[in-house]
Structure 1
Amino acid sequence: MLWLNVQRSVTVQKGLCLRVPCSFIPPGDSSEPTSGHWYRMPRKNMIEQTKSVTTNSSLQLLGDPGAGNCTLGIMSPRKRDTGRYYFQLDRGPARYSNRNDSLSVQVTELTELPDIRVQEPLQSGSPSRLTCSLPGACDGAWAPTISWTGAALGPSGVYEAREIQLTPRPQDHNTNLTCRVAFPGTAPSRERTLRLQVSYPPQSLTIHVCQGNRTGPEAQGNSSSRLVPEGAALCLVCVADSNPPSRLSWAWRSWALNPLKPSGPGVLELPGVQWDQEGELTCLAEHPRGNLSASIHLSVFSTPHLQGLSCSWEKEVLHCSCSSRAWPAPTLRWQLGDYTLEVTSNDTVQVTTSSGGPWANSTLSLHGELGASLRLSCEARNAHGEQRAGVLLMPGKRELRGGFVLGSMVGAGVAGLLALCLYLTFFLVKTCRKKAPKRAAGLEEAPSTQQRHVSWGEGLHYASLNFLELRPREPPGQDALNSTEYSEIKTKQ
């Protein structure tokens, strides 16, 4: 009787290999020739010739029976190899076995999947080893064929080996690499797909500019520029192509190294851009494997806006001042009639100009007599627009040097004089109506309106005088009604 030290039942998948350890204490004379065999037992209620399986290509005796080793190798079995097996020892003329001490072998369908192992982290530009194996696969003549497919493998995209060396590129990130295990014969093939996770530093850095309803890439690489109207709402979105994601930060005017806290990852919001926010904004992408930066230059602009033009007489000298706000700061110039007054200083004209930030200021002093009805204007101009304001120098009853009075933007001096004329006109008209109430009802009032306007350029200030003349049909000879009086003053802008 032979007693085996072996497990009673094993299960192996179709096409795989299994090694079943087995041992026993050899009986009899060890000097006798010794051999061992595994036999398949006949199925119940069926007469079947018992035959050795040592010549079966699927089951083989691996151990040395003379040393008490009966280890069994199951190589790429098929479904028909399922059954019970017992071991028999032949020593000289004696045969030893124990059919009650048998091994049950169960062959099932192949469900095992390949196992892919990445030996080193996948980093762009650095080689890494990858291995593919199928647990339980055979070696040697029964070993399956292992192949790789994927765009990361290069132009051919196919490689046959259990182990490959891969040097990934940034574009290989999130691509598929497939390992396929094919068995000889009719056994099905198995495969597993790995999605590559490649670490790479920032490859590109793009700044998107959002202004109003428009969004689009504005800066890519090292520098770009954007023209922004003052007061506009602006948002900048920085996008970096890297894995893992880079840490994004903003800096304003890189020379000052003043970081601005973004409202989100890579997002910088500027609710109302001001002239003093002009300059370079830099987005920095920081990554463990390298950094990258991109900049955009904000050029803020606004059109000139005149804040006021005022003039006054002082010691027979006309003094005028003009100020304007714009960015870039505007240039101011004076126009007297058809002549442009440059920045100068002499006995007749003194013109000075100064600027600070978005403001520009200019003063004008005129000495001597001035011609009749001259136009004086101040013009503010920059590359984005211009604006002009003016006053009219008019002849008047009050004698000043040169025989002129000043009709300014607000007409303050004229308004006082004409208010008195308006009152006298109203009094005379009322008196005439009382003298001839009935006949006046049949008279045709024929007002003749004459307007003296000064109007030139955009944003000009001028004074308007309306002269009203009453001419009743009867009586035609009233001197009081034939005279012209100031009856209405309008100031327009």
Structure 2
Amino acid sequence: SEMLWLLLPLLWAGSLAKDEGYTLTVETPVTVQEGLCAQVACNVSYAQDGWDDSTPAHGYWYRGEAHAPDKVLVATNNQTHKVQEETQGRFHLLGDPKTNSCSLDIRDARRTDEGFYTFRVERGNIVKYSYRQKMLSVQVTALNHTPNILIPGPLESGRPRILNCSVPWACERGTPPTFSWTSAAHSSLGPRTRLSSVLTLTPRPQDHGTNLTCQVHFPAAGVTVETTIQLNVTYSPQNLTITVFQGNGSAPTVLENGSSLLVLEGQSLCLVCVVNSNPSARLSWAKGNRNLNASRPGVLELLPVQAGDEGEFTCRAHNSRGSLHSSLSLSVQTSCSSSGVMLGAVGGAGATTLLFLVFCAVFIIVRSCRRKPAGAAAGTGDTGTEGANAAQSPTPQKSQPDSRLEHLPPPLAVPSSGKKEEIQYATLKFHKIKPGSPQEQEGGTENEYSEILMPRGTSGE
């Protein structure tokens, strides 16, 4: 064991002698975000043994130990050596070991790139050295950058604007990202650069407050980031409405421009004016050409409604982009006019009833007049006696046993005088007799009427 202790200093001295002149300077650890790039500054020195200035120098970056069986070559300047396919095109040896540089460039960083890396230098037949005592640590974190959306000036309804989405923090030497836009507004894609995209946007009033998204995808790293903004679109007043609230408990009513409104005197009335605009419009009320002082913007209260409130009311909305107005005509029904309407209704009904009664009376009179001349014509002139006789003479048909014509009295002689005759009425009773029985039957009498012409001045008058 004493011999072993004596050999240790010799072995240590030999190791120092072997590593003498071989140094590597590198900042470690190195942190890079997914999809981005990192340049690792590195300086190397080695022994000047077995080579001259014309001898080429080759450098190698390995993932893991340079002498480990599972080592992976990720970058080299020796074209005869093949690097790992996963890192091909992404890891580059920027420096030249011939000038003592071992700088490493990492592009489109991936999570799988995280780990330890070892550098090895070879020059001539003697210098073949791996710097295991100074390994590079690479750490890969999530991408926390987002795209930048630039809007030059305010967005105005109907006016095209050019929007720019860029990723200035991305790597110019990396794989170009892809851009995509999402918006409800009318838009069209414009020219793009390696790290930016242009969108021409023509906003509308309904696009105010909607989202616009720019999404950027880094295909080499398989990561995507995006930025979403809300559009601030300025526009003139739109869709102005007047809502009526009456104190009679009726439901609110929305009036169109130019509408008419009838309200009872003494009733409460509230007119609310609402409009869409950006920036917010200033609302005001006017009656005719006179501006009114509203208790609240856009709210006009008439508590209570008076007869003098009749007229045209106008709500106006105004902002920096334009103006809009809506009007209504207010009519007030007073209590007197209400009573007049009631009296008019009652009077009209009475007049209608009176006209109906007059019409009925006229109808009855006309009908009576028609009946009287008809009766007079039947009992006057030369035909009067004949008519009476005809009424008392038997009919050509076979007489019946109970015929009343057999018991009629002889015709009356009517004196022919120059006096005016008039119609008189007499009642004649005829007793019904059962066939084959001469006896009268109770309740068998009938009343029949006949006209008798009597001259004026007789006892019949």
Across the aligned residues of Structure 1 and Structure 2, the Cα RMSD in angstroms comes to 4.1
Q: Which residue does 1:439 correspond to in 2?
A: none
Pick from 140, 148, 153: which aligns with 1:120?
153
Q: Which residue does 1:85 correspond to in 2?
A: 117
Alpha carbons 1:150, 1:176 under 8 Å: kept: yes
- The structure-2 alpha-carbon separation of the partners of 1:65 and 1:268, relative to structure 1 and needing over 3 Å to count, comes to farther
Q: CA deviation at 1:268?
A: 1.5
1:213-252 matches, within 5 Å, as 213-220=250-257, 223-252=258-287
CA distance in 1, matches of 2:100, 2:161: 46
Pick from 13, 18, 38: which aligns with 2:37?
18
1:441-480 matches, within 5 Å, as none
Which of the pair has more CA radius of gyration? 2
Secondary structure in 2 matching 1:189: strand
The answer to whether the aligner puts 1:277 opposite 2:277 as a matched pair is no
Alpha carbons 1:40, 1:85 under 8 Å: kept: yes
The answer to whether the aligner puts 1:167 opposite 2:202 as a matched pair is yes
Secondary structure in 2 matching 1:263: coil
Alpha carbons 1:4, 1:22 under 8 Å: kept: no
CA distance in 2, matches of 1:171, 1:141: 40
Alpha carbons 2:109, 2:221 under 8 Å: kept: no
The answer to whether the aligner puts 1:150 opposite 2:183 as a matched pair is yes
Q: CA deviation at 1:68?
A: 6.8
Q: Which residue does 1:7 correspond to in 2?
A: 27
Pick from 62, 65, 83: which aligns with 1:40?
62
Q: CA deviation at 1:263?
A: 2.6
The answer to whether the aligner puts 1:104 opposite 2:137 as a matched pair is yes
| 69-78 or 230-239, which deviates more | 69-78
- The structure-2 alpha-carbon separation of the partners of 1:136 and 1:64, relative to structure 1 and needing over 3 Å to count, comes to farther
Q: Which runs of 5+ in 1 are unaligned?
A: 306-325, 327-379, 391-455, 458-493
CA distance in 2, matches of 1:171, 1:157: 21
The answer to whether the aligner puts 1:132 opposite 2:165 as a matched pair is yes
Normalising by the residue count of structure 1, what TM-score does the alignment of the two structures yield? 0.52
Amino acid at match of 2:197: R
Q: Which residue does 1:302 correspond to in 2?
A: 334
The answer to whether the aligner puts 1:288 opposite 2:323 as a matched pair is no
Q: CA deviation at 1:231?
A: 1.8
CA distance in 2, matches of 1:34, 1:386: 123
CA distance in 2, matches of 1:228, 1:166: 49
CA distance in 2, matches of 1:183, 1:139: 12
Q: Which residue does 2:108 correspond to in 1?
A: 76
Q: CA deviation at 1:241?
A: 0.6
- The structure-2 alpha-carbon separation of the partners of 1:42 and 1:63, relative to structure 1 and needing over 3 Å to count, comes to closer
Pick from 202, 207, 223: which aligns with 2:242?
207
Pick from 187, 193, 200: which aligns with 2:222?
187
Alpha carbons 1:150, 1:157 under 8 Å: kept: no
- The structure-2 alpha-carbon separation of the partners of 1:32 and 1:231, relative to structure 1 and needing over 3 Å to count, comes to farther
- The structure-2 alpha-carbon separation of the partners of 1:45 and 1:37, relative to structure 1 and needing over 3 Å to count, comes to closer
Amino acid at match of 2:243: H
- The structure-2 alpha-carbon separation of the partners of 1:162 and 1:304, relative to structure 1 and needing over 3 Å to count, comes to same
Alpha carbons 2:163, 2:201 under 8 Å: kept: yes
CA distance in 2, matches of 1:68, 1:276: 100
Secondary structure in 1 matching 2:254: strand
Larger helix percent: 2
- The structure-2 alpha-carbon separation of the partners of 1:38 and 1:232, relative to structure 1 and needing over 3 Å to count, comes to farther
Q: Which residue does 1:358 correspond to in 2?
A: none
- The structure-2 alpha-carbon separation of the partners of 1:52 and 1:276, relative to structure 1 and needing over 3 Å to count, comes to closer
CA distance in 1, matches of 2:332, 2:158: 43
The structure showing larger relative contact order (alpha-carbon pairs under 8 Å, at least 6 residues apart) is: 2
Amino acid at match of 1:252: K
Alpha carbons 1:149, 1:157 under 8 Å: kept: no
- The structure-2 alpha-carbon separation of the partners of 1:25 and 1:48, relative to structure 1 and needing over 3 Å to count, comes to closer
Alpha carbons 2:267, 2:303 under 8 Å: kept: yes
Q: CA deviation at 1:115?
A: 4.1
Amino acid at match of 2:323: N
CA distance in 2, matches of 1:117, 1:385: 71
Q: Deviations over 1:316-369 (max 9, x none)?
A: xxxxxxxxxx8xxxxxxxxxxxxxxxxxxxxxxxxxxxxxxxxxxxxxxxxxxx
Secondary structure in 2 matching 1:80: helix
Normalising by the residue count of structure 2, what TM-score does the alignment of the two structures yield? 0.56
CA distance in 2, matches of 1:209, 1:180: 47
Pick from 61, 65, 72: which aligns with 2:93?
61
CA distance in 2, matches of 1:43, 1:87: 9
Secondary structure in 2 matching 1:51: strand
Q: CA deviation at 1:50?
A: 6.2
Q: CA deviation at 1:204?
A: 2.3
CA distance in 2, matches of 1:167, 1:118: 12
Q: Deviations over 1:36-68 (max 9, x none)?
A: 645125259954446351453222234576777
Identity of aligned residues (%): 41
Alpha carbons 1:117, 1:131 under 8 Å: kept: yes
| Length, aligned pairs only | 310
